[in-house]
Amino acid sequence: MTTVFIDGAHGTTGLEIVNRLEARSEFALIVLDDHERKNDGARREALNDADVAILCLPDDAARAAAAMVENDRTVIIDASSAHRTAPGWTFGFHEIFADGLGTLRSSRRISNPGCYPTGFLALIKPLIDAAIIPVSSLLTVNAVSGYSGGGKAMIAEFEASDQAATAWRTYGLNLAHKHVPEMQRHAGLTHPPIFSPSVTNTYRGMIVEVPLSAHAFAMTADHNRIAATLERAYSHTPLVNLISDYAPADLAIEHAAGSDRLDLFVFANVSTGQFRMVAALDNLGKGAAGACVQTLNLVTGYPETTGLRL
């Protein structure tokens, strides 16, 4: 039996992970009492006793927790953005790398991707690898998430009964969102993309869109080549899917809500050479807790979809 300690198990992502693991007999959860879960001594002991430690913490706290692990046995899966571009850490989105699965399975320090970068990288990385768009491309990313992505504070804000609920708002207006470095690094881009995140009044779900112009990027690819490249890139993966038979109509933010999968779409106007590449996922599923459980399955030798919602 594999012992697992979730540091930050009472947060939004932590609770989702617990929900996925509590019925699985192959894992034994190390649980701290309420008076111990903020005690560094108790946490240090739990982190070092666990076969796998999952960090569901703010960035600074995640760095401190990782430093508490004093053995070379415990596998750390970090759900924060603290280590996504850090040396010595494996980026936990194995589907976008040719050798990703083997690397992930043998790693002891794994940083799982952010929810927005998951959608962006799934769409863009295969096109860069296939030289359909150059690494010097100036890309934009438009995205919207359910409010659970903002954690307990944002959940309380949107669900407050004493004020009118916000329908939609944009943020990240300083153009320095913490997800941008991992987008640029792991896509291999020369320039950071312009990232326009927003939040809307639904609990969970996410749409990430990258618009492309064949004229702006000197692309020679048509819709069929782009779609074939994405389909080939993910043909071996059980959770990332190119949806090729989707009629161009409304695509709701709730499309993949409640699941742990990632669905990709390519919409095109052939006459104008314009494309809208879209990823739909659950910000708490493949964007957070589901991805952590997928990684946990892989590093402990279980099929990667075990306990996940397809």
Identified catalytic residue from 18, 104, 115, 240: 115
- Exposed e or buried b per residue across 253-272, where buried means at least 16 C-beta atoms within 10 angstroms of its C-beta: bbbbbebbbbbbbbebeeee
* Dist. CA 245–CA 247, nearest whole Å: 6
- 221 pLDDT above the threshold of 70: no
Neighbours of 229 (CB within 10 A): 18
Per residue in 158-168, pLDDT (tens digit) is 888 666 678 99
Q: pTM of this prediction?
A: 0.96
Residue 145 and residue 155 in contact, taking contact as beta carbons nearer than 8 Å? no
Residue 163 has a pLDDT of: 63
Per residue in 247-257, pLDDT (tens digit) is 777 899 999 99
- 154 token code pair: 């944002």
Residue 232 main-chain phi, psi, to 5 deg: -65, -40
- Give the pLDDT band (50/70/90) at residue 283: very high
* Dist. CA 119–CA 210, nearest whole Å: 9
Residue 164 has a pLDDT of: 67
Residue 104 and residue 94 in contact, taking contact as beta carbons nearer than 8 Å? yes
Pairing outcome for strands 75-78 and 109-111: parallel
Q: Which residue is listed with tokens 């099929």?
A: 303
Per residue in 60-69, pLDDT (tens digit) is 999 999 999 9
Residue 270 has a pLDDT of: 84
Classify 140 as helix, strand or coil.
strand
Measuring CA to CA, which residue among 1, 5, 18 is closest to residue 69?
5
- Give the pLDDT band (50/70/90) at residue 54: very high
H/E stretch holding 294: helix 290-299
- 220 pLDDT above the threshold of 70: no
Per residue in 22-43, pLDDT (tens digit) is 989 999 999 999 889 889 999 9
Mean pLDDT of the chain, nearest integer = 94
Q: Is 292 assigned a catalytic role?
A: no
* 76, β-bridge pairs: 53, 109
Residue 109 main-chain phi, psi, to 5 deg: -130, 110
| Amino acid at site 185 | R
> E strands of 10-94, at which residues?
27-30, 52-55, 75-78, 90-91
- 119 pLDDT above the threshold of 90: yes
- 50 pLDDT above the threshold of 70: yes
Q: How many residues does the chain have?
A: 310
Structural Rg of the chain based on CA atoms: 19
Residue 286 main-chain phi, psi, to 5 deg: -60, -20
